[in-house]
Amino acid sequence: MFLSPSRRNRFIFLAVICSALLFFFYPSTDNVYEHLSSHLSRHSTPCLNAIQHQRQVLLSSYGKSLSGVTHIALLDVPWHHNSGDSAIWLGELSLLEALGIEVRYMSTYSDYNQAEMDKSLEDIPEKNVAIMLHGGGNFGDIWGGHQEFRNRMMYELKDRKIRHFPQTFEFNVEKPSKLFKDSIKAYSSHPDVEVIARDSESYEYFLEHFQGVPVKLTPDAALFIGYNQNSVFTPPIMRAPGTNMRILDLGGRMKYEYTPAPSPYAGLPESERNPFGWPLMSFAAQPETDVLIVARGDKEGGQSRQDVSMWAPGLKPYEVVVKDWDDDWGRIQRPKKANSGLTDNGVPGGTTNFLDYWTQASLLRVQWAMVMITSGKIIISDRLHTNIMAILLGNGHVVVESGHLRKVEKVSNTWLSSCLISPAELEDIAQGKPRTTDANTVFVHEDHEAIEAAKALLQGQDHGVRWSRVVE
C-alpha cells in the first residue's frame, strides 16, 4: 500500500531523526563503518544463499523430471583424469541419493552394453526406470565421441525415458557440422527425452535449435556436493570435523585417510573461524604456496596458461606453482569392468557392489583436487570446476577466461554472480578492511588482470583478511 503524502512526510521526518541519533552515538564515520562491517561480516552471505538456492532448484527440477522413477542407469560417466567431471559425477550421485533413487547400472560411453543394462533393471517396472546421461560441457563438436553416443541412445532406447544432467551447448551454430544436424534429428526422434542446460545461453540455444525437445535450466550438478555432509558421496575434506575421513578400497580396507594439519585458527572463537555461518569443514589453512595456477592443458577454448614464466614475474615476490588435473591421483587405473551388480574386490571370494567401486575412484579424484586447491593461499584458474570447488570450499580465487567457448562465464553469469567480488570490494580487501560479504570470486578476461587481482587478494591476506572456513 502506498503512503499518503502526510504519512510519507512523517516517515521521512522519523528517518531523519534516526539518522541523527546514529551519528550522535557514532560521531566518527570510521566507527560507523567498522560497526556495520562487523555486523555484515557475520550475516551477509549472498554466495552461501545462492548455493543453497541452486541446490533447491536441482532438487525441485529433478524431482519433477524423475517423478515416479525409483531406479536408473547412468551412462557416459567419466573414467579419466579430469577431476571436474568426477565432481559433476559426485554431485549427480548426491542428488540421486537425496531423491531416493537407486543407481542400478553405470558405464562410460565406450563400454556400454545394452543387454547388461537391461538385465540390471529387469525386475523394475518400466514406468519406474529412467536412463540418465552424465552432464558437463561436452554437448557439441569438441568431444564428438560423447555426442555420438548420446545420439545413438536416442535411437536404441526409444522405449525408455531419457533424462540429462546439466550440459553446456557447445556446437558451432555459425558453421553447423554434420554431427550438429545428426543430433537435432536424433533428439527429435525420441518420444520421451528431456535436455537440461546448465547456463542461460545454452538454454536459449537448445530452445532455438532443438525445437520440440523439452528443455529445462538448472545449475551444474557439482554444486550439489556437500548437500549432505554425512553422505558417502561427500569428499572427506567437506565432511564435518570429527566424522569418518576414510575412503575404502574394494576390499573394505582403508585406501586413503584424510588427516588435515592443525589449523592456525584453532584457538579463535567460532564466530571468527567461521564468520559467515557456512558448514564447518575439515580442511586447514596450511597452504604450500602463495599462488596456485590451475590451467587447462587440453584442447578446449584455445587457452594456454601452463608456463609458470608468464605468471612469476608479475606476481613477485609471491611464490607461484602451476598445475592441472593431470596427476597420479587423477589417473586412477581401472583394473576391470564393473558396471552393475557385484564385482570381485581383490580379496579371495570377496565381492563389492559396483557403485562402491565407482564411488571410490570419484572420491579419490575430487578429494585430491580439493586438497590441491587448498594448497594455495590464492588460486587462479581457467577451469569451471576449479571455480566451483573453490566456491564450495570458501577459498578466495581468480577466474580468468579468454577462450571463445566462455564456459565459465556462462555458468557464472547465470548462477554464481552472488559469489563475485566487486572492484570496490577488491580494493577494500587489498587495504585489509574486513570482508563484508562471503563473496570469494574475482572474474577477469585477461592474464594481467588476473595477476593484479591475485596480488590484491594476497595483500589482503598479508593484512589479516581470512578466506578459508577453517576448524581445528
Is 455 found in the same domain as 306? yes
Same domain, 209 and 291: no
* Angstrom distance (rounded) from CA 378 to CA 221: 25
- Classify residue 240: in a domain, yes or no: no
Cβ-count burial 150-185 (b if 16+ within 10 Å, e if not): bbebbeebeebbbbbbbbbbbbeeeeeeeebeebbe
- Asked if residues 256 and 27 have their Cβ atoms less than 8 Å apart, the reply is no
Q: Which domain holds residue 363?
A: 279-462
Distance CA 291, CA 234 (A): 26
Q: Identify whether residues 139 and 211 lie together within a single domain.
A: yes
Number of structural domains found in the chain: 2
Pick the last residue of a domain from 224, 239, 258.
Answer: 224
Q: What angle do CA 417, 418, 421 make, to 5 degrees?
A: 85
Helix (H) or strand (E) holding 132: strand 129-133
pLDDT tens for the chain, 472 residues long, are 334 444 444 444 444 454 444 334 433 333 322 333 333 334 578 999 999 999 999 999 999 999 999 999 999 998 877 889 999 999 999 999 999 999 999 998 888 999 999 999 999 999 999 999 999 988 998 888 899 999 999 999 999 999 999 999 989 888 899 999 999 999 999 999 999 999 999 999 999 999 999 999 999 999 999 999 989 899 999 988 778 888 877 666 777 888 877 666 566 666 666 667 777 787 766 788 999 999 876 655 556 787 888 899 999 999 999 988 765 554 566 656 667 777 766 666 667 777 887 888 888 889 989 988 888 999 999 899 999 999 998 888 999 998 777 889 999 999 999 999 999 999 999 999 988 889 999 999 999 999 999 999 999 989 888 765 543 3
What does the alpha-carbon distance between residue 384 and residue 370 come to, in Å, rounded to a whole number? 14
For residue 404 the three cell numbers come to: 571463445
How far apart, in whole angstroms, are the C-alpha atoms of residue 101 and residue 79?
Answer: 22
Q: Tell which of 195, 224, 253 closes a domain.
A: 224
Inside any domain, residue 195: yes
Q: Measured in whole angstroms, how far is the alpha carbon of residue 220 from the centre of its chain?
A: 7
pLDDT at 166: 97
The helix/strand/coil state of 229 is: coil
State whether 219 and 288 are in the same domain: no
Residues 213 and 316 in one domain: no
Residue 387 lies in a domain: yes
Do 441 and 378 lie in one domain? The reply is yes
> Any idea what the CATH number is for the domain that residue 95 is in?
3.40.50
CA–CA gap between residue 457 and residue 441 (Å, rounded)? 10
Same domain, 192 and 338: no
Helix (H, G, I), strand (E, B) or coil at 319: coil
What is the tally of helices (H) and strands (E) in the chain? 15, 17
For residues 299 and 196, membership in a common domain is answered with: no
Are residue 285 and residue 220 in the same domain, yes or no?
Answer: no
Instruction: Tell me, yes or no, whether 413 lies in a domain.
Output: yes
Residue 305 lies in a domain: yes
Q: What is the pLDDT of residues 31-55, one digit of tens each?
A: 322 333 333 334 578 999 999 999 9
Do the beta carbons of residue 391 and residue 409 sit within 8 Å?
Answer: no
* Residue of 255, 303, 443, 295 whose CA lies nearest to 376: 295
Same domain, 324 and 431: yes
Q: Which residues pair with 208 in a beta bridge?
A: none
Q: Is residue 25 assigned to a domain?
A: no
In a domain, 333, yes or no: yes
Given 202, 224, 246, the domain boundary residue is 224
